[in-house]
Each structure stands twice: as C-alpha cells, then as structure tokens.
Chains A and B, each alone.
Chain A
C-alpha cells in the first residue's frame, strides 16, 4: 500500500517485514528514528524478535555477530562515528561469513563534529567484505533491504551488507512509499536457513587462528563471494521487479545515457537532483546523462565500462574523499575505463552536508567539458 512516511520509518517497515529475529543497535543521529520505531514495534508485538538495547555500537554489532552465529536473521543500523566504532567487528562479521544486514544513515565523520550527510562513513569500510548498496530515494532504500537479505543469505554468498541512504536528506524526509504486504515479502524472502550455526550437537568454532598458509585463502574466498554476488544481486533484483514492478536487475541505473556525450556518475540521493538538472540541460540541447551506481561493493566494473563507453567526458561526483588521493568512486570509475580515451574527472562534493543544487551539477558538467576537474567543488576560498 502506498503511504506517505518518513524515510526512517520506511526502513523500519522493511525490517519488520523481513522478520529479523534479533536486532541490536545504539542510537546515533540521524539513524535514531529507525531504531526507535523498531523498539516500538518489538514492544507492541508487531515484530516478533528480540531488541537488545546495548551500550555502544561496538556491543551492538558484537551482539549481532553472536546472534547470527547462533543461526538468527539479524539486523542493526548505524552511521558515522557509530560505524567507525564497529570497524573491528565489521571485519570479523565478514570474515566469519555471517549475513548481517545493517542500514547506514550516511553521515560525515569527526573531527570537526558534524551530524550532516556525506558518504565517508560507509566508504571508509569498503575493504571490509560487506556488500554496499546505495539508495536514491526511500522506496529504493526500502526495497534494497529485501534484496540484500535475499542475496546475503544465499549460501553461495554468505556476506553481510550495508544498505546506505543519505542522512537527513532521506532519513527525515516524508515521501510516498509503496509498502509491500507481509504475504508478499514472505513469498519473496523465505525464512533464513543458516549454512552453519553454533550447535552443541555439532560443535563448530568461528574466528579461529589462521596461519600464513591459510589466511590468504580466506580472504580470497570472500573476494570470490563478492564477485559471485553480482549475478545473485541481478537475479534477486530481477525477481523483485517481476513481483513488485520495480526492477533492480542491474547494479547500476542509467538516466538519459542513450546519446550522452557527458556522463555524470554518482551514488545516493544526489542522483535525484542530478536527474532534474540533466532534464534542464537537455532542454538547452546538452547531451548529458547519469550513471547511478547502486552497488558500490561489489563494484560493477563491467556495467560501468559498458554504460560509459560511448561518452567522451565523465564527471564523477564523490561525497567522500580518500585523503591524499581522490574520491573513492572516481578511482573505481577510472579503473573501469582504463585504456579508453574518455576524459574522467572527479569532483569532491557535499562533504559534511554542503548542499548540492541543480546549478552545481550544471556547473560541474561545464567544468568537466572544459577539462577542469579532480578538485573539491564549491570551496569557500575566503576562509582557506
């Protein structure tokens, strides 16, 4: 049923419909509305699971790890400093191949302290072995939760996942969202069958010591699962489309790319603004398109290559910065297009909640077409 609800509540609905057995989370702005709503759902008996009010994010994800190893479907949510505090556990979860789903309400990192949006938090965990999905709007944020559970729990994958959506811009915005029914989701997302679990009859040890003879093989197998997940995501996204009419069979989404000379590449809510800006530029006769990256991990290198091959200029908008290098998406796009003669420029935008308006997108396209790039866009020069 179509409802006008807050982004955080749409995600909470998605979680409820996914029937997690254990939820553990610690409040942090702008994730709080998700977990408060879930606490309420559990207290009201609308969600038949355990809600653990832990004392930190470190404990939250640790409790999730335990619950997942014991064979439960598990959920958590965090952002920014909270995710940073989970760093150690994140690597353990992926290494133990536990399919835990975590929503990231993307927010910048301290210092200086900021509660506003960018994507530095989840990007900083790109090497941890978690799948990373980025939503453009609240419908997509909701839908990606169902798809993520399907993919993660597939016994060929068994990896954890972040569903990322932009803090405040989406978490606190009311939008019309089509909320599926429980029956529909039960059809799409069957109950979790753990590949293995802690079971006293069949003792197992998770996370044991690996000597140099074996450690690399563990890492290799995670990487292989990541590679395999591309097909599994495509299939889960296609089947979602068949059942609900919203297709996610590709790891990327193209907008007016058919004859685009200049392509903008971005992730998350800014894609909505970019689409509007592209419509305006198109009206003025500019051949511009958008390539939206929906899964940053695994990185859809083939799709990116295919989609951008006929563009002459590519402008990547990165809401993160690998300090001392470039934006994380820009680097990957360059890698995907290695050997081509397409001009690729990276723009660091919107850090710490700096607004990105349609005119900024147009200005970035102009810069790229002039051959000016690889810069922080929109700095207040007067304070530097």
Chain B
C-alpha cells in the first residue's frame, strides 16, 4: 500500500488551515505504516482532541477519537484487550502534555506497546492559539499577550525519563528523517515516542513573526541541530542558541513492555 491508499478520500480536503504542518506528519506516518507492511485490519489509530487529533478521521482504518488528553489511556485499554492490534496515537502538545500529561508519563513508565506521534506546534491550535506547556518563553499567544513566562516541557526528554523504549524528534521540514523515525518507532516494541515540530501558521506563526507557513519551515531548517552535534558542542563547552531544535534519535532500548504481541 502507498500512503495515499490509507486516506478516506471522501473526507478530503482536511479541515487544516492552508500551510498547516499536520498533513505532512500524517503523510509521513502513513508512509511508515505502509513501509512496515501493516494491514488495515491490524492497526488502530487513536487520538484525543485538537487539530492534530483530527488525523484518524482521515485514515481508512479503525479509529477511536476520544476526549481531550485521554488518548493514551483509551489506547492502553485497546492494547491490553487485544495485544495483536498495532496502535498508533496522534496527539498534540496540549493534548499530550497539558491536560493529558499524567497519562503520558504513566504510559511511558509502563512502556505500553504503541507508537505515539506528537505534532508539537507549541500552541493550542484548535481553540485559537492559547499558550501550551511547550510555548517558548517570550512567545505570544492569546493567553500570554506579552510573552509566555512559564518554563516549557521537553517532551522527548520527558518520555525518556519516564521510560519509553524509543524516542526521536524531527520537524515537518525533515520529511524523510521523520518518516524513518516513525518507522523505527513502529518496529520497536514498547512505548515509542516521536515528537514532530510542526508549523501552525494560524495560531502560532501569525503572532510570532513567522506569518507564512514557509517562514516556520525555514525556521525549522535553519534552527535544527543533530543531537550528536549538539552533544559535542555541549561537551566542548560551546554555547548553543536557546531556540535550537535538537533533532535525531534519542533512545532505543529494551525495557520490559506492557501489552506486547503474544
């Protein structure tokens, strides 16, 4: 199957704004699912609420569109009831790390066998651009009109600290790398976490001098740094700009898994 074969053609076009990064990530995920050869009958796509969480609605397979923040808890239930099913969860930074933060750390801790793809646009897109736990300090949102003041979560680091077997971060600019990382996540037993930085021109870019979709993609291109280089610079005591997006694979390990295939 090609990634396009997974789409519900009658549901297109998506509700996403022009230039939204979510579509790119869905394409990457469906390409990865096609590459590992999963069949429609063995995959369930799960999501919470948000623009990112609309993804399963466009995919021609079983899906559960749940409540805001709870996708991982619902997905855990599916996996434990039928470990033969493959689970892919689409979520957003708000869905995963704000209202659903508790489920996130516990799903990582239990290392539940599923692949979680977080479209991190650093904002609550669907509700109109309020600050989220990944809105960078100083960034404008409708609830932080003079700049966010709180610290942010590093979602990938959080997943590793909490026990995920696989963790990687890429951006919507890195289509090939992101696809490969999702594929590696699908193939790794246990909790696989893939963080995809995406542009939300409507809720984030517009307010933060990245008005056009390509402005944000260009930002991803110029501000991403491979993890290996980042570690080396740090080891050499060099300064790394704070807005650097560190990309790459961060962990691949073999902790005991909950809900693995029988």
Contacts and interface: CB of A to CB of B under 8 A. Distances in A.
A27 B101 CA distance: 16
B145 interface: yes
Interface residues of A, number: 21
Contacts of A32: 127-128, 130, 142
B65 interface: yes
Interface in A283-335: none
A27 B49 contact: no
A28 interface: yes
B56 interface: no
B249 to A, nearest CB: 28
B162 interface: no
A113 B65 contact: yes
B143 A27 contact: yes
Contacts of A85: 99
Contacts of B130: 27, 32, 36, 53
Nearest to B69: A56
Interface size classification for chain B:
20 to 34
Contact of A39 (B65, B67, B68, B145): B145
A334 to B, nearest CB: 34
Contacts of B143: 27, 35-36, 39, 51, 53
Nearest to A26: B99
A36 B128 contact: yes
Interface string A18-37: 00000000111100100110
A26 B126 CA distance: 13
A40 interface: yes
B127 A29 contact: yes
B99 A113 contact: no
B73 interface: no
B90 interface: no
B145 A40 contact: yes
Contacts of A26: 98-99
Contacts of B65: 113
Interface string A94-126: 000000000000000010010000000000000
B146 A55 contact: no
Contacts of B144: 39, 43, 53
A55 B101 contact: yes
Interface string B64-99: 010111000000000000000000000000000111
Contacts of A374: none
Contacts of B68: 81
A96 B199 CA distance: 45
A44 B145 CA distance: 9
B220 interface: no
A81 B145 contact: no
Contact of B142 (A29, A39, A57, A81): A39
Given A39-B144, A113-B65, 13 more contacts: A27-B124, A27-B130, A28-B127, A32-B127, A32-B128, A32-B130, A39-B143, A51-B143, A53-B143, A53-B150, A55-B97, A55-B99, A81-B68
Interface of B: 49, 65, 67-69, 97-99, 101, 124, 126-128, 130-131, 133, 142-146, 150
19 contacts: A27-B124, A28-B127, A29-B126, A32-B128, A36-B130, A36-B143, A39-B143, A39-B144, A40-B145, A44-B145, A53-B130, A53-B131, A55-B97, A55-B99, A55-B133, A56-B99, A81-B49, A81-B68, A110-B67
